[in-house]
Amino acid sequence: MKQWAIYIRVSTDEQHTENQKLLLTQYADRLNYSYTVINEVQSTRKTRPLKQQLLNDLRKKKYKGVIVYKFDRWARSSRELIVEIEELLSKGVQFVSYSENIDFSTAIGKLQFNILSAFAEFERDLISQRTKEGLRRTKAAGTVLGRRKGSKDKKKRKTLGYYNNKNATH
């Protein structure tokens, strides 16, 4: 039987992973899962090396699936969450969120994932729409967008290593 990965993470050095570990290992034990605990405590805003290694292992199907305490322990944005879960599910890797009580391998879990995806897409569209409206309003008020002409264009640009697309042959 393939093992499951239990991924636990905290955001600061002052926090501890014991509560997550206790609940998730009890959950896995109840279901008779064999598992490995991945405990990410050295993460920063941009890097989570153990998660990246786990993602690579999941892609190679080293684990049957991953169990997390909450979605926000796995991903820092809804976009990141959706993209990664979608990839894992397409590879046949299971994903379980303990707190949200969602197992994406079930019919209700798949429905919940589709709803979550729809809301994430809706959020991206709203952000895009607000950005475009703000740019139109700023432009209508007479503000010139972009950098000023000549402000940085006097600097000699590196050309070595680039090729001219007009004359390029592949």
Residues with catalytic roles? 11
- The dihedral sign for the CA sequence 78, 84, 90, 92: negative
- The dihedral sign for the CA sequence 74, 100, 108, 114: negative
Q: How far apart are CA 69 and CA 75, in angstroms?
A: 11
The 10 Å CB-count burial string (b at 16+, else e) for 140-158 is eeeeeeeeeeeeeeeeeee
What's the DSSP call for residue 152? S
